[in-house]
């Protein structure tokens, strides 16, 4: 047959197949398509990795009722907007944006797709179809501080920070406040590496801190490099976002683990049964959004017991990590005794407590 | 050893580890450039070595195999460059840039399933007796095999370039490929060999990162070191001994700014982070001013395409 | 035996236009093989990569939005590369341009300054890029320092400067201390020319620049000087063309365009200053310049192609789970193949047997 016939036949066949597929679809309930937008690679073994664990948990919990997909290493900015819009216009009913820098992009797209639901991590702007969520990581930092206070000999703690944003500053402060209850003379040295994920630089920073006498390594960056250095140099360290024990079997005291499984599953369920609302979720130990990894084998039993006791106290609400009194480095009283910092104060925290050495933008 | 000295030794030790990958890559590039070829693809070759070395070490359990494989990967990817620039007379600058791009992407692809793997770093090789010397001991004689190799290569490359006949021929090719061709030297073959050597060294520099510095694989883990190595070659006016000095200088500047932060120096961290790059520019300017020196040491035919049929 | 390559003496015009097409075809073929090896259905992946992004009006607009900065910067770079002046630091010049333009926008924020703001921003951004490129130009002409390395190092410096500004002095006071500037007001945002998309007037600016570059190269005396300097530096010297002047002009020119691209990005799709304002446009533009054969017309086409390759990478991730790294491999491959087939333009393939037979 000549070309025209061939083309017509092909078109006809395609149409029939398409119709058949559509027909089949109409009978089965469409699974909810959930799209995840990651700022880093899934293999970072930190922040993004834990979000992906959450994604897989949703798949496992809800099976054939959901269909998930993800795009990794999406740069904040115009690219993010395009990716989110792509997801919104390709039938995704729920989109999860896992980085602060996606905020404006998410809101822009959300305005144009009012029927799609969005969850934005660590942001502060909401809309009728945009929720925000974050975990109270600082609760874990407080526990780490207590434990570190008991374990440190030199009284110097190295803290590798990514960027001087409130989330990181909160973590440093919570850690230091706890540290000083056990070791009032202890000092926390903060080094900024200006990146969330740069193993080479994190390793350099860690080495420089150890060389200056630190015997505990804390980090608010995403790679296991600082812990590797801790392992190599024979000091203690605390993992970030996920259990990093396989990188530092001897050195890791514990890790502050992000757990998004429950949150994501709840959100997906809410979309499925139509009860989804725009909310702001900021939970910690009490909802298991923050968890402490199992303590390392070399950690003494009494230290482990203390850690667990503090964790329980925070979980039950008896202990607030930011309970006053707390002074900043200029001696000004920021949290009066008898009260604790409000969520608003925590969200915008831009000052360090006494005992922290590190620069902050003015 | 008192506390200050101990700190100094520790800092120097850290600087050494920071300098080693630069040393490998820069030494390889010195040889390549001395023969007249400008290979800007160092970053890509280093990453190729880093990923292949890690993958092989993780899969076979042998870091030795990993190191050898890394050198091999560097050679393989440099062959693409060699084929294009020496065989097809492509523009060396553009090809080098393409090599970097390709290397970055390919290594990310190959290493995809190995992200998150943990490997034990290469073991420290103590030399009995010497390692216990105060100060010098832990610094010079208690390193891993690759650090020793890098230091040894400085001597080897220096000797080869300036004290052997083969080195003389190589330099002649770099100075005037037409003259060398007229005398009968196989210009293209010599250059190809040096390109491959550069690839092998870059591969070793890369595997140092993934097996010693931070024993894991991360996309783009060289983080610009290949470019700094290129600057280093110019800074050292193509002399291996100067490369050693330069590598330690650059390694030092990178580390110093982190120390300064830890010491509480109140300059915003971003400005501290700028130091290595500003230092590179500064040093480059200083070196380049001396036109005579440059002309003495820079291979005259660098970057120029050689076509025997022309 | 290796077939010999004989110089043609005169560049083949046919090959000049044919080689990019050959390069694309070969790259697609190799890419399909790559996909097959990685376990993805080659045809479906190729469809997702090439065709799908162009099936909607929005998709086409997105390609244009992404191609705009690429074309803008590449035209400037191409003029320099032709003269053997290697500006590798366009990314830094772009960043400084974004900073300067953004600074103007923030200075006028909240005040009802009207229509003067946007042109002022564009001028500021252009000047900023020029100033940043002047540094390597100065270092090259005065101290003979290699511009490849100086311009590259300045990229890192520029990025850190931006980082400092959005973390500190230019931080949004109502932004809970997060590192970003205020959102620019409507008078500081580029107007959209296609309703419902993100296509802004930046694309018209880019096209105008491409045409201007073409004219300059083909007609202008400056274009002539550039070409001669690149092809025969000694002849250029004898003819009295000042090498230093050309270095300055091409560096500043490419810096200006990169700065313009930077301010267009922040005044357009971005709308504010963030720690990162460009996903590597300055470096990708280098590829675009070569892909477009260092000619403004080719560059426009190459910019579209490369923009497509970025966007399709995201699409492919969503629909087919193809990893992002494939995009980099693709682009590198494309450049390699192009450089390889480029040889056909300047050389003729001769087989040894012919020689022997002729002898």
CATH of residue B251: 1.10.3470
Domains held by chain B: number: 1
Q: Please report the pLDDT score of residue B138 as a whole number.
A: 64
Q: Please report the pLDDT score of residue C345 as a whole number.
A: 72
Average pLDDT for residues A67-92, to the nearest whole number? 85
**Which is higher by pLDDT, C190 or C89?**
C89
pLDDT at A55 over 90: yes
**Which is higher by pLDDT, C103 or C345?**
C103
**Which is higher by pLDDT, C345 or A115?**
A115
pLDDT at A21 over 60: no
Sequence ranges of the domains in chain C: 62-292
In a domain, B233, yes or no: yes
Q: Please report the pLDDT score of residue C50 as a whole number.
A: 64
User: pLDDT tier at A122 (50, 70, 90 boundaries)?
Assistant: confident
Q: Please report the pLDDT score of residue C356 as a whole number.
A: 44
Residues 6+ apart with CB under 8 A from A26: none
Dump pLDDT digits (tens) for A210-232: 988 899 999 998 888 899 999 98
Q: Domains in chain A, please, with CATH? A: 28-135 (3.40.50.2300), 137-257+290-357 (3.40.50.2300)
Stretch 228-247 of chain A: residues touching chain C, C-beta under 8 Å: none
- Global pTM reads 0.81
User: pLDDT tier at C142 (50, 70, 90 boundaries)?
Assistant: confident
Mean pLDDT by 10 residues, chain B (310 residues): 73 86 95 91 94 91 90 95 88 85 85 76 67 65 81 93 91 88 89 94 94 84 85 85 89 81 76 82 80 72 70
In a domain, B302, yes or no: no
Q: Please report the pLDDT score of residue B74 as a whole number.
A: 95
**Which is higher by pLDDT, C105 or C28?**
C105
Dump pLDDT digits (tens) for B236-260: 888 999 999 889 888 888 788 788 8
Instruction: Report the 10 Å Cβ neighbour count for C123.
Output: 16
Q: Please report the pLDDT score of residue A164 as a whole number.
A: 83
Q: Which of A49, A200, A224 sits opposite B209 (nearest CB)?
A: A200
User: pLDDT tier at C316 (50, 70, 90 boundaries)?
Assistant: low
| CA C288 to chain centroid | 5
DSSP class of residue C10?
S
Q: Where are the beta strands (DSSP E) in B56-165?
A: 124-126, 142-144
Average pLDDT for residues C302-314, to the nearest whole number? 79
Query: Which among B30, B25, B63, B26 has a CA at the least distance from the CA of B45?
Result: B25
CB contact under 8 A, A191 and B214: no
Q: Please report the pLDDT score of residue C271 as a whole number.
A: 84
In C, minimum Cα distance to B225 occurs at: C153
Dump pLDDT digits (tens) for B273-295: 788 788 888 887 887 777 776 66
Average pLDDT for residues C263-279, to the nearest whole number? 85
Dump pLDDT digits (tens) for A24-44: 444 356 889 999 999 887 877
In a domain, B271, yes or no: yes
Query: Which among A278, A265, A261 has a CA at the least distance from the CA of A65?
Result: A265
Average pLDDT for residues C91-110, to the nearest whole number? 90
Q: Where are the beta strands (DSSP E) in chain C?
A: 4-7, 347-350
In a domain, B126, yes or no: no
Q: Please report the pLDDT score of residue A219 as a whole number.
A: 94
Q: Which of A78, A164, A194 sits opposite C269 (nearest CB)?
A: A78
The mean predicted confidence, pLDDT, of chain A is 86
Torsion angle of C-alpha atoms C300, C303, C304, C309, degrees rounded to 10: 160
Mutation test of the interface with chain C: which of B111, B277, B305, choosing the one with the most C Cβ atoms within 10 A? Answer: B277
User: pLDDT tier at C359 (50, 70, 90 boundaries)?
Assistant: very low
Cβ pair C290, C183 in contact under 8 A:
no
CB contact under 8 A, B209 and A357: no
A195 touches C: beta carbon within 8 Å:
no
Cβ pair B294, B288 in contact under 8 A:
yes
Q: Residue B282: which domain range? A: 3-115+140-297
In a domain, B309, yes or no: no
In a domain, B54, yes or no: yes
DSSP C262-283: HHHHIIIII-S--S---SSHHH
Q: Please report the pLDDT score of residue A232 as a whole number.
A: 86
In a domain, B128, yes or no: no
Q: Please report the pLDDT score of residue A22 as a whole number.
A: 44
On chain C, the residues whose CB falls within 8 A of the CB of A89 are: 58
Q: Which of A101, A350, A361 sits opposite C274 (nearest CB)?
A: A101
Q: Please report the pLDDT score of residue A144 as a whole number.
A: 93
CB contact under 8 A, C167 and A349: no
């Amino acid at each position: 047959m000549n070309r025209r016939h061939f083309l017509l036949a092909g078109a006809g066949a395609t149409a029939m197949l398409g119709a058949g597929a559509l027909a089949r679809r109409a009978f089965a309930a469409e699974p909810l398509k959930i799209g995840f937008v990651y700022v880093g690679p899934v293999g970072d073994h930190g922040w993004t990795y834990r979000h992906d664990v959450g994604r897989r948990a949703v798949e496992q919990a809800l099976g054939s009722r959901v269909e998930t997909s993800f795009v990794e290493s999406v740069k904040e900015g115009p690219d993010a907007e395009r990716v989110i819009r792509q997801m919104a216009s390709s039938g995704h009913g729920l989109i999860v944006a896992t980085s602060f820098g996606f905020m404006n992009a998410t809101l822009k797209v959300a305005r144009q797709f009012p029927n799609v639901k969005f969850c934005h991590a660590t942001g502060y702007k909401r809309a009728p179809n945009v929720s925000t969520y974050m975990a109270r990581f600082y609760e874990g930092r407080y526990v780490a501080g207590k434990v570190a206070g008991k374990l440190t000999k030199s009284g110097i703690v190295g803290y590798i920070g990514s960027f001087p944003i409130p989330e990181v500053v909160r973590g440093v402060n919570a850690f230091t406040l706890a540290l000083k209850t056990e070791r009032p003379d202890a000092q926390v040295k903060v080094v900024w590496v200006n990146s969330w994920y740069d193993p080479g630089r994190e390793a350099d920073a860690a080495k420089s801190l150890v060389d200056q006498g630190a015997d505990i390594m804390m980090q608010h960056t995403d790679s296991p490099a600082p812990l590797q250095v801790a392992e190599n140099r024979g000091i203690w360290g605390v993992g970030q976002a996920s259990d990093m024990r396989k990188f530092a079997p001897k050195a890791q005291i514990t890790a502050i683990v992000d757990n998004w499984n429950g949150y994501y599953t709840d959100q997906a369920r809410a979309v499925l049964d139509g009860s989804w609302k725009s909310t702001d979720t900021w939970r910690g130990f009490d909802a298991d959004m923050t968890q402490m990894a199992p303590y390392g084998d070399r950690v003494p039993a009494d230290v482990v017991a203390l850690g667990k006791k503090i964790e329980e106290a925070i979980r039950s609400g008896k202990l607030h990590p930011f309970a006053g009194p707390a002074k900043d480095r200029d001696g000004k009283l920021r949290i009066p005794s008898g009260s604790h910092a409000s969520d608003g104060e925590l969200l915008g925290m831009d000052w360090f407590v006494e005992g922290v050495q590190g620069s902050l933008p003015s | 050893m008192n506390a200050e000295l101990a700190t100094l030794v520790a800092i120097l030790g850290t600087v050494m580890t920071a300098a080693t990958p630069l040393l490998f890559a820069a030494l390889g590039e010195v040889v390549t450039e001395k023969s007249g070829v400008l290979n800007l693809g160092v970053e890509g070759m280093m990453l190729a070595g880093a990923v292949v070395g890690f993958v092989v070490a993780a899969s076979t359990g042998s870091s030795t195999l990993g190191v050898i494989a890394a050198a091999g990967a560097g050679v393989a990817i440099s062959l693409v460059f060699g084929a294009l620039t020496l065989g097809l007379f492509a523009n060396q600058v553009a090809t080098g840039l393409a090599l970097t791009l390709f290397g970055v992407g390919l290594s990310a692809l190959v290493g995809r399933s190995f992200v998150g793997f943990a490997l034990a770093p290469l073991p420290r090789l103590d030399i009995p007796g010497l390692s216990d010397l105060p100060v010098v001991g832990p610094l010079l004689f208690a390193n891993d095999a690759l650090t020793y190799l890098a230091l040894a290569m400085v001597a080897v490359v220096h000797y080869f370039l300036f004290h052997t006949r083969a080195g003389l021929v190589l330099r002649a090719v770099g100075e005037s490929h037409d003259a060398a061709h007229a005398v009968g030297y196989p210009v293209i073959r010599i250059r190809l060999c040096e390109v491959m050597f550069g690839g092998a060294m870059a591969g070793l520099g890369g595997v140092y990162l993934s097996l010693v510095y931070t024993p894991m694989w991360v996309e783009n883990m060289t983080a610009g070191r290949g470019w700094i190595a290129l600057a280093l070659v110019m800074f050292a006016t193509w002399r291996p001994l100067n490369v050693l000095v330069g590598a330690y200088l650059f390694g030092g500047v990178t580390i110093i700014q982190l120390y300064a932060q830890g010491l509480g120096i109140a300059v915003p961290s971003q400005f501290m982070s700028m130091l290595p790059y500003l230092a590179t520019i500064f040093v480059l300017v200083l070196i380049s001013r001396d036109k005579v020196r440059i002309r003495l040491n820079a291979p005259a035919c660098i970057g120029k395409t050689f076509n025997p049929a022309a | 035996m290796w077939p010999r390559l004989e110089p043609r003496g005169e560049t083949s015009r046919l090959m000049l236009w044919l080689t990019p097409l050959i390069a694309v075809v070969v790259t697609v073929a190799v890419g399909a093989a790559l996909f097959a090896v990685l376990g993805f259905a080659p045809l479906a992946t190729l469809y997702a990569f090439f065709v799908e992004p162009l099936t909607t009006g929005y998709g086409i607009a997105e390609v244009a939005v992404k191609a705009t900065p690429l074309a803008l910067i590449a035209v400037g770079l191409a003029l320099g590369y032709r003269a053997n002046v290697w500006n590798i630091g366009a990314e830094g010049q772009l960043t400084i341009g974004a900073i300067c333009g953004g600074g103007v926008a923030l200075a006028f924020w909240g005040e009802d300054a009207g229509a003067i703001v946007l042109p002022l921003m564009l001028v500021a951004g252009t000047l900023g890029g020029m100033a940043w490129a002047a540094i390597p130009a100065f270092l090259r002409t005065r101290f003979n320092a290699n511009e490849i390395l100086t311009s590259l190092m300045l990229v890192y410096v520029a990025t850190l400067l931006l980082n400092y500004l959005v973390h500190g002095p230019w931080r949004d006071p109502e932004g809970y201390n997060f590192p970003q500037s205020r959102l620019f007001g409507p008078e500081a945002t580029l107007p959209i020319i296609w309703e419902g998309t993100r296509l802004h007037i930046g694309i018209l600016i880019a096209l105008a620049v491409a045409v201007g570059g073409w004219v300059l190269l083909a007609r202008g005396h400056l274009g002539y000087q550039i070409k001669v300097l690149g092809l025969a530096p000694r002849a250029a010297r004898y003819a009295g063309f000042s090498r230093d002047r050309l270095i300055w002009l091409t560096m500043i020119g490419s810096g200006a365009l990169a700065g313009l691209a930077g301010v267009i990005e922040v005044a357009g799709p971005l709308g504010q200053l963030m720690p990162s304002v460009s996903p590597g446009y300055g470096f990708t533009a280098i590829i675009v310049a070569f892909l477009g054969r260092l000619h403004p017309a080719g560059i426009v086409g190459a910019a579209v192609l490369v923009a497509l390759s970025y966007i399709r990478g995201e699409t492919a991730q969503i629909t087919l789970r193809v990893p992002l790294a494939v995009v980099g491999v693709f682009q590198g491959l494309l450049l390699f193949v192009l450089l390889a087939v480029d040889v056909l333009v300047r050389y003729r393939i001769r087989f040894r047997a012919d020689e022997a037979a002729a002898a």
